[in-house]
Structure 1
Amino acid sequence: MLSPRLLKALERFNATYAWDHNAHYHRWILQQLPRRFDRALDVGSGSGGLARLLAGRAATVEGIDADPVITARARELTPEALPVTYTVADAVTAEGPYDAISCVATIHHLPSDTRRRLVRLTEAGRDAFHAAGKPLGDEFRAALVAAGFPYERYFEDTLRLAELLASD
């Protein structure tokens, strides 16, 4: 769970630097999806940035994150008019089917049975995405292939949070 202090430090970091590792891939993810679809699931939704963007394409978006502090922040940042709900939950609680599932920098935290379950929650022929850091890249790829994900993307992590954590 993120402490309020760490959450504020992350927000300061993201405000100071114009590049956020996770948000960097959001536009690319949107380009891979249809213009309109029914349901999206954002696993590890954090402060809700991608969930809010998905709401421009999906009729409904469900963001789930195990951290109640960051989930509360996502709710604060999301306009009520957007079709997004946030739940403090484990990925295993999600109920599909979904047209798109995103797991940006999250999938490596999930047990293999949960990854396989997410695949089953994705409508046949639809997409699942993740973005991950380079150090565990082979592990991510192997986990996705073993879980049967129909679509895989791998990205290289180019930013470190050490400066942020040292600044406070």
Structure 2
Amino acid sequence: MPFDHNDHYHRLLLRNLPSHGRTALDVGCGTGRFARALAARGYEVDALDPSAEVIAEARTLGGGPRFRQADVVREDLPEGHYEAVTCLASLHHMPFGTVTRLRDALAPGGTLLVLGCYAGMTWWDPVASPANAVARVTVYAAERLRGTYEPPLKAPVRPPDMRLPEVRAEAARLLPGSHVRQLLFWRYLLTYRKPAGN
């Protein structure tokens, strides 16, 4: 089915970007759809993913970002460089503490946006399941009718192991002043703005 939970939130993420941003880092970029959206907004984008296969596909699709196969846990990131750092559905593939490396890569006044996945059930999940089914069938039917459906290349996935309360507690500890908002479709949005003086 072509409906993608992460793509569904691209507009929300774009609305939370700093208005003055020029440089961006997209972590776990996959085939680069959000990195290209950042580039279309005028950002110079470094887009990293550990999968050689998806980076090859991202480079084939092009669109402006500098795509590079790299594991952000081990990669040397330039300190205080990026006005925006984004991480879509990939933080659960690495230790949660990696957010401190992403924070340190932010320029003063920069914004970190994590669209994350959480484990377990919350009160909202009974609403998400039927909404998910309707969205998937609707998008699939529309693309079939238009003749535009092509199964996308998917990056490797793994289930998350942190529940939402754990995510909130760790975010508060590691990124004081951050905000974690629960979203539909088993996602959360972590927003952190680095103080202008740091």
**Alignment TM-score > 0.5, same fold:** yes
Secondary structure of residue in 2 paired with 1:45: coil
Secondary structure of residue in 2 paired with 1:108: helix
TM score, norm. by length of structure 2: 0.62
Counterpart in 2 of 1:78?
62
Higher helix share: 1
Could you tell me how far apart the structure 2 residues matched to 1:142 and 1:41 are?
25
Check conservation: 2:47, 2:68, Cα contact below 8 A: yes
**Structure 1 counterpart of 2:69, from 83, 88, 92:** 88
List structure 1 runs of 4+ shifted beyond 4 angstroms. Answer: none
Is 2:33 aligned against 1:49?
yes
Q: CA deviation at 1:66?
A: 0.7
Q: Deviations over 1:13-65 (max 9, x none)?
A: 32xxxx21111111111111134521101110011011000012243101101
- Residues 117 and 158 (structure 1), Cα distance of their counterparts in 2 relative to 1, 3 Å cut: closer
Could you tell me how far apart the structure 1 residues matched to 2:25 and 2:37 are?
12
**Structure 1 counterpart of 2:6, from 19, 22, 43:** 22
Aligned residues: 140
Q: CA RMSD in A?
A: 2.2
Check conservation: 2:32, 2:58, Cα contact below 8 A: yes
Give 1 or 2 for the bigger CA radius of gyration. Answer: 2
Greater relative CO, 1 or 2 (CA 8 Å, sep 6+): 2
- Residues 40 and 158 (structure 1), Cα distance of their counterparts in 2 relative to 1, 3 Å cut: same
TM score, norm. by length of structure 1: 0.72
Could you tell me how far apart the structure 1 residues matched to 2:173 and 2:68 are?
28
- Residues 50 and 26 (structure 1), Cα distance of their counterparts in 2 relative to 1, 3 Å cut: same
Secondary structure of residue in 1 paired with 2:9: helix
Gaps of 5+ in 2: 120-162, 188-198
